[in-house]
Structure 1
Amino acid sequence: MTPAINAAKKAKIAFQVHQYRHDANAASYGEEAAHVLGQDPARVFKTLLAADEAGQLFVAVVPVAGKLDLKALAKAVKAKRLTMADPTAAEKATGYVVGGISPLGQKKRLSLVLDSSAERFDTIYVSAGRRGLEIELTPADLLRLSRGQLAAIGRD
């Protein structure tokens, strides 16, 4: 059990956990998950962290098929400028390892923005807190549990 799964259970939302054997040689954790689970890469989301000039961290959840638009994320969180967070800082703040960072059950509550493309799907897949473990839930439940917001922060 991971903190992400525990958070979903505690909230009594509908969700499914999908486990697969992670290949340590996979070039992209998210694309690996989409491929192994037989899902559209637009429906499987990766969790990325960005930092402002003061070191404040923000969580961005975007499709594995695309990239994060840092300018759009900065606008959404009302930051002047953002850069990708240092992986060590991301792991320390979330309690998860890179490649298994879940938007749920993080050690520190960080501002979260989910890409608006998630609205196209009844359910989406995000990391459940470990490489090779995904949680499927509705975008609305993810936003409610994370106290996040929806914005167009992804790009192809």
Structure 2
Amino acid sequence: MTITELESATLRDCLARWPSGVAVVTTLDQSGARRGFTATAFSSLSSSPPLVLVCLDRSADCHPAFDGAEAMAVHLLRDDQAQLAARFATKAVDKYGGLASTPGLGRVPLLDGVLGRLECELVNRFDGGDHVILVGLVRRCEVFPGEPLVYCGRVFRSLPPEESPA
């Protein structure tokens, strides 16, 4: 069964109404160059063993790097990091220009100032149509203060402040 162009647009509009967190996923390519992308399709998969999954568009510049990578880092973004999300979502730009990173598991670049960070061994890849589903075994995890960046309605947003109980 195929979806018509009109149905496809309706599907995209419908899915854009679902809010999700925003993450930047990083790795190294075969030459040791830092690569990465912005993901809104990220999820916990299992707590025992600790597995996460993230979906990568096959047309992304960094797709070949993740195809051969042994490790990745998932950075959960804070609500003041929309520019970082936009940078890693843009094709054909120097995503790391002027951006500090430190080497983590497998020398994968780790970004500072994020809400949370998971260092993962890449243990599986599954076909997901125009995406590949990357499955990572979490080897290290860190949590930092802040509020999450959210993507909904095709824009980055902050959650409203919590109301105090009456």
Q: More strand by proportion, 1 or 2?
A: 2
Q: More helix by proportion, 1 or 2?
A: 1
The answer, yes or no, to whether TM exceeds 0.5 is no
The one of the two structures with greater contact order (alpha-carbon pairs below 8 A, sep at least 6) is 1
Instruction: Give 1 or 2 for the bigger CA radius of gyration.
Output: 2
